[in-house]
Structure formats: structure tokens, C-alpha cells
Amino acid sequence: MRIKSIEFKNFASYGNKAQTLSFEDDKAELFLTTGKNGDGKTTIANAIVFGLYGKLEGVKLQDLPNRINKNLMVKLKVQCKNIEVDIERGLAPNHFKVMLNGIEFDKAGKKSVQEYLEEEVYGCLLYTSDAADE
């Protein structure tokens, strides 16, 4: 799986202005995030995990939104072999939308959509090299 981009706002200490990180034009297989303590490195990683799974280990969902603005939103684009996955998640209001190759995916509720992502789509995590894609 390759993360193509992430956009988020009102996540932890980040405010109401959408923050976007794009990895689409880069051929690198590894990205390094640097910064001083408190610059938001862990928050970016947490936004990615929340976008993928809708939860964070050891963190209550009500503690994730920015305390002033609320309305947490994460949009994540990932490429997994020949499937382009667009995920939108939000809190207050609850929001979960998945697009597979541009077509909205809905299988009778949020739980079954998440299970499908983890079991069928994210399974390509084990095969990330270019050789495995051939």
C-alpha cells in the first residue's frame, strides 16, 4: 500500500484550516518526518492511522477533535495494487465514506466496510515492493 496524500483539519492541535501532505510525485519508498518536540509529527501519524482504521489505540475518539473547532475531518488517498482508495472520516458529525477506484463502496454499514478494507484491501500491505505488483 502506498499513501498518496492525506488532508486533515481540526485533528488534535491542528486547527480549522485543512493541512495537506502529498506523496504522489515522489518515487521514494520511505518518508522521514522531522521536527522539534510539539511540531505535530505524532499527530500526522495519528491522522493517518485514524483515516485508515477509524480509531487509535489508547485514545478515546472524543479526545481527537480540536477542542475549539471540533468537526474533525481526515481524507486519505492510498494506492493498493490496482485499487485506488479514497477514505473520508469525520467526528461531530460522524462521517465515513470509502471510494474504490472512484466508486462509492457501501456494504450495509460502517463495520462491514471497515472489515472489508482491513481484510481485502489493506491486505496488500504485505506486498509493497514493485516486484510484488508485477
- Residue 116 near residue 105, CB atoms below 8 Å: yes
- Residue 16 near residue 66, CB atoms below 8 Å: yes
- Quick: pLDDT tens for 86-110: 999 998 778 899 999 999 987 666 6
User: Which CATH code of 2.160.10.10, 3.40.50.10880, 3.40.980.10, 3.40.50.300 fits the domain covering 2-133?
Assistant: 3.40.50.300
- Quick: pLDDT tens for 35-86: 999 888 999 999 999 999 999 999 888 888 888 888 899 999 998 888 899 9
Q: Which amino acid is at 82?
A: N
pTM score > 0.75 for this model? Answer: yes
- Residue 82 near residue 73, CB atoms below 8 Å: no
39 or 124, which is more confident: 39
pLDDT band per the 50, 70, 90 thresholds, residue 26 = low
Question: Above 90 in pLDDT, residue 128?
Answer: no
Q: Given this model, what pLDDT does residue 127 score?
A: 41
Distance CA 113, CA 122 (A): 12
> What is the grid cell recorded at 11?
485533528
